[in-house]
């Protein structure tokens, strides 16, 4: 039997490749974006409590209502957004799923979607599996800002959506107020949707305000805004997130959602509905992770890597130009085998493999993990 692939260019992800390589060579894995330290014991206990109290059957398709109400309260508190928990919030199995469902809800064959590269690796396959085309625009190296003049030139009558991601994976750059002004200017009076990937909303540093689309009612009316509990509460394996969108958009989103997974893990939703009211748990995250960023960046001064700025996310990028002129994929493989530290080559986040000799490091690790990794890197 032969399947005509809908994603003929897609193979095994670089994350699986590098993690397997790290395991084979007993390397410290600074490639994949997940913490190696424990999550909240209180939140774990709340999940256990929910299971024991028999919250183990299907919740409503859009999600457990007390959780959606807590999310609406959080959106009002953080962004002064008025969100209807009944019609405008859908609980999803992760942020990536939310992005896929949003794109699937709006795209028709022949549509175009503006994607900024380097880009999270699910965006373009999500677009292509729906018969649409990704129009890629490079963020301006080395600070990875958006050139809005280029965006304006890329917009055509076929443009169905623009994907924005802040804080940004893989670079740690963030959208500023001036970017919002340009996004408003380009989309005003059009039928262009916005997919806003905000899974790192609580991982933003240096007291920079997160420019959530939820802050801007005019933009929200055309937007699907996607979030992740996994990134907020250090439980990436739970695969739980949510999408906020106006009622007409949420209605179409839920048509896709109900025939894909229908609903998400009930005990976790029940637990999060209670835990979300503890504001300090998410408000403190930026300072905790900023300390890790600063500590890792200081440690890396012992090496020959040159680290870039990171204003958010789990990640920071660094160039190895003082070490080698190899391509970043080859260098990342050699670094794993010979130095015992796994990273991600940033060229894999470009459709055409643009190679600036930059690697992505995840600093969401215990201090001893970061210290051990840098000790190895300093000898390379």
pLDDT of residue 303: 98
- pLDDT, tens digit, for every residue of 43-81? 999 999 999 999 999 999 999 999 999 999 999 999 999
Reported as a pLDDT band with limits 50, 70 and 90, residue 350 is very high
| Interval 10-30 mean pLDDT | 90
Quote the number of domains for the chain: 2
In a domain, 4, yes or no: no
In which residue are the tokens 């994907």 written? 163
Q: Are residues 137 and 254 in the same domain?
A: yes
Domain residues for the domain of 329 are 14-39+283-378
In a domain, 347, yes or no: yes
What CATH number did the domain enclosing 68 receive? 3.40.640.10
- pLDDT, tens digit, for every residue of 286-330? 999 999 999 999 999 999 999 999 999 999 999 999 999 999 999
- pLDDT, tens digit, for every residue of 203-241? 999 999 999 999 999 999 999 999 999 999 999 999 999
What CATH number did the domain enclosing 356 receive? 3.90.1150.10
pLDDT of residue 315: 98
In a domain, 362, yes or no: yes
Nearest C-alpha neighbor of 171 from the set 109, 101, 240, 120 = 120
Q: Are residues 26 and 51 in the same domain?
A: no
- The answer to whether residue 34 scores a pLDDT higher than 90 is no
Q: How many percent of the chain have pLDDT more than 70?
A: 100
pLDDT of residue 137: 98
Reported as a pLDDT band with limits 50, 70 and 90, residue 10 is confident
pLDDT of residue 14: 82
Nearest C-alpha neighbor of 169 from the set 118, 213, 132 = 118
In whole numbers, what is the pLDDT of the chain averaged over residues? Answer: 97
| Interval 35-49 mean pLDDT | 96
pLDDT of residue 160: 98
Q: b or e along 307-321 (b: 16 or more beta carbons within 10 Å of the residue's beta carbon)?
A: bbbbbbbbbbbbbbe
| Interval 85-91 mean pLDDT | 98
H-only helix segments in 54-119 = 65-79, 95-106
> Among 18-27, 108-117, 165-174, which stretch is predicted with the lowest mean pLDDT?
18-27
């Amino acid at each position: 039997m032969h399947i005509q692939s809908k994603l003929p260019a897609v193979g095994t992800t670089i994350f699986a490749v590098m993690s397997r390589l790290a395991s084979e060579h007993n390397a410290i894995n600074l490639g994949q974006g997940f913490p190696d330290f424990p999550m909240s014991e209180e939140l774990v206990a709340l999940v256990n409590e929910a299971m024991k109290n028999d919250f183990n059957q299907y919740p409503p398709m859009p999600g457990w209502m007390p959780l959606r109400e807590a999310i609406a309260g959080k959106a009002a508190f953080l962004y002064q957004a008025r969100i209807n928990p009944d019609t405008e919030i859908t609980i999803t199995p992760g942020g990536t799923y939310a992005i896929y469902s949003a794109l699937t809800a709006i795209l028709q064959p022949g549509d175009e979607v503006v994607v900024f590269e380097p880009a999270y690796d699910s965006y373009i396959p999500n677009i292509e599996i729906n018969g649409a085309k990704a129009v890629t625009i490079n963020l301006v190296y080395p600070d990875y800002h958006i050139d809005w003049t280029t965006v304006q030139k890329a917009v055509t009558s076929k443009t169905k959506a623009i994907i924005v991601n802040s804080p940004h994976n893989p670079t740690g750059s963030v959208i500023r107020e001036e970017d919002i002004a340009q996004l408003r200017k380009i989309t005003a009076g059009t039928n262009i949707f916005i997919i806003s990937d905000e899974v790192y909303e609580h991982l933003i540093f240096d007291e920079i305000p997160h420019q959530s689309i939820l802050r801007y009612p005019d933009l929200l009316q055309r937007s699907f805004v996607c979030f992740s509990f996994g990134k907020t509460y250090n439980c990436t394996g739970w695969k739980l997130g949510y999408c906020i969108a106006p009622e007409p958009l949420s209605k179409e989103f839920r048509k896709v959602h109900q025939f894909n997974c229908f609903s998400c893990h009930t005990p976790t939703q029940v637990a999060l509905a209670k835990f979300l009211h503890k504001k300090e748990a998410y408000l403190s995250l930026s300072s905790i992770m900023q300390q890790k960023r600063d500590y890792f960046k200081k440690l890396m001064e012992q090496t020959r890597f040159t680290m870039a700025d990171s204003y958010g996310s789990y990640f920071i990028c660094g160039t190895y130009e003082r070490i080698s002129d190899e391509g970043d994929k080859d260098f990342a493989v050699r670094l794993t085998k010979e130095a015992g530290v796994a990273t991600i080559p940033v060229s894999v986040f470009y459709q055409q493999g643009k190679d600036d000799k930059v690697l992505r490091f995840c600093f969401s690790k215990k201090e001893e993990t970061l210290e051990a990794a840098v000790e190895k890197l300093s000898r390379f």
